[in-house]
Amino acid sequence: MFDRAEIVVKAGSGGNGVISFRREKWVPFGGPDGGDGGDGGDIVVIADEAVTSLRIFRQKRHYKAARGRDGAGKKKHGRKGENLILTVPVGTVVLYKSQIGGDSLIADLEQPGQQAVVAKGGRGGLGNAHFATSTNQAPQIAQKGEEGEENSIILELKLIADVGLIGYPNVGKSTLLAAVSAAKPKIASYPFTTREPILGVVEVGQRSFILAEIPGLIDGAHLGRGLGHDFLRHIVRTKMLIHLIDGSSSSPAEDMAQVNTELSLFDSALAQKPQLVAVNKIDLPQVKARLAELRDSFAAAVTKAFFVSAASGEGIAELMAETANMLQSAARSEAGGRVPKKVFHPQPRSIVPRVRKEGDTFVVTAPELERLTARTDMTSPRLSREFRRQLVRLGVTKALERAGVKPGDSVRCGNLEWEWP
């Protein structure tokens, strides 16, 4: 089962605005008529019930949306690049992958049809038709299209189970799951029979919950050994655990401690999850023979351990009843202390503007200004006054003057090139 994928998404860049002038037979100096570029396509993730796994995203990792078309003469607007839609299973969590740790949540797609834009297409550049002013009737500038966003994205499919059934391989997890639910996992006398989490619905009187067998937990699972690492993540999302132990193992209490160590090495929160301990296979003669000794060793380690046989059904009803009770109290305490999820979009800090020279052009690097130039339509005189004010506010004017800019010099920032001042 593929429950997690990391992909790289690149939205389409905006099409370029163009420089063009009207040409008509009897009009010697036609005005500027360069059209705008179209916006680039976004990359959108949509939850779809028809999709059941993230497998495809493991196979194909790079996605690119279409670029916006360039503008054309006669004020022709370039066509918008088409959005690229990625369909994912309902229950998929979408995160930005952060290079410095602390991935940030973009969206939790819990309902069919819910969607999130994971990379925004670049805006199309403005054609020179926008740049005519009373003093400049033949503007020779046009904006380039903005680059499309590129992001590394993590897709994670939530396994929506209330209770995780954990334990070493071959302890009888599948046998227990089959005994208490309609699930039909494969059961065999060798480890790693179950290779992906299996869900079953358990009914206890009027109540019911979803129990998931979490396979393949072994020593070193937190390092990726066995199958454990992939599925430890699922445990994070469960409300509580049933920890099943093989009563016929050489040291059952030690097994329990080992598995718990694995959990806490993966994520200390896992070790804090409410846990019910059940020692299985008590129908076996050799286990029966040392039942008293087992009770003693577990009494020392946990407040209450269950002694059950998934095969014969002994003790199972009590274990399930206690699970339902514990879930109820876990739900109550969770409702009390729930912390709202924060959606966090990392923003680059504002940086001091830098100026360098490329030939005769002064090139300004100032992220805040670049965002502004990408959005602002400079045609109206009022806006261009506003633009000049922003240049001062952001320290760009000062930086340019320090670099020796003179009236008439050309200055470029982002996609916009203009004449100083």
* Helix segments in 202-251, DSSP class H: 228-237
Count CA within 13 A, CB hemisphere, residue 330: 18
353-392 positions binding ligand GTP, by CB under 6 A: none
Q: Residues touching Mg ion: how many (CB under 5 A)? A: 4
Task: Decide if 140 contacts 215 (C-beta within 8 A).
Answer: no
State how far the Cα of 380 lies from the Cα of 36, in Å rounded to an integer: 16
The full DSSP string for 156-216 is EE----SEEEE-STTSSHHHHHHHHSS------SSTT---S-EEEEEEETTEEEEEEE---
CB of residue 218 to ligand GTP, shortest distance in Å: 9
At residue 229, what are phi and psi to the nearest 5 degrees? -60, -45
CB of residue 89 to ligand GTP, shortest distance in Å: 24
Residue 38: how many CB atoms within 10 A of its CB?
Answer: 26
Q: Which does 175 bind (CB under 5 to 8 A by kind): ligand GTP, Mg ion, none?
A: ligand GTP
Q: Residues touching ligand GTP: how many (CB under 6 A)? A: 22
Site string for ligand GTP, 309-338 (x = CB under 6 A): xxx---------------------------
Check residue 160 for interaction with ligand GTP (CB under 6 A). no
CB of residue 214 to Mg ion, shortest distance in Å: 10
State how far the Cα of 48 lies from the Cα of 33, in Å rounded to an integer: 44
Of residues 93, 166, 171, 326, which one binds ligand GTP by CB under 6 A? 171
Strands (E), 281-353: 305-307
Of residues 20, 92, 128, 174, which one binds Mg ion by CB under 5 A? 174
Contact region for Mg ion (CB under 5 A) — 42-50, 194-202, 297-305, 318-326? 194-202
Is the Cβ of residue 174 or residue 249 nearer to Mg ion in the bound state?
174
Q: Which residue of the chain is nearest ligand GTP when measured via CB?
A: 172
Strand, helix or coil at 412? strand
Q: Which does 189 bind (CB under 5 to 8 A by kind): Mg ion, ligand GTP, none?
A: ligand GTP
Check residue 194 for interaction with Mg ion (CB under 5 A). yes
Q: Considering only CA atoms, which of 382, 385, 376 is closest in space to residue 421? A: 385
283-302 positions binding ligand GTP, by CB under 6 A: 283-284
Query: What are 275's strand-pairing partners?
Result: 241
State how far the Cα of 144 lies from the Cα of 415, in Å rounded to an integer: 5
Whether residue 421 is preceded by a cis peptide bond, meaning omega within 30 degrees of 0, is yes
Angle at 44 between CA 38 and CA 48, to 5 degrees: 140
Contact region for Mg ion (CB under 5 A) — 4-12, 59-67, 170-178, 358-366? 170-178
189-228 positions binding ligand GTP, by CB under 6 A: 189, 191-194, 215
What's the maximum distance between 2 C-alpha atoms anywhere in the chain? 110
CB of residue 325 to Mg ion, shortest distance in Å: 26
Contact region for ligand GTP (CB under 6 A) — 24-32, 39-47, 119-127, 277-285? 277-285
Binding site for Mg ion (CB under 5 A): 173-174, 193-194
Binding site for ligand GTP (CB under 6 A): 169-175, 187-189, 191-194, 215, 280-281, 283-284, 309-311
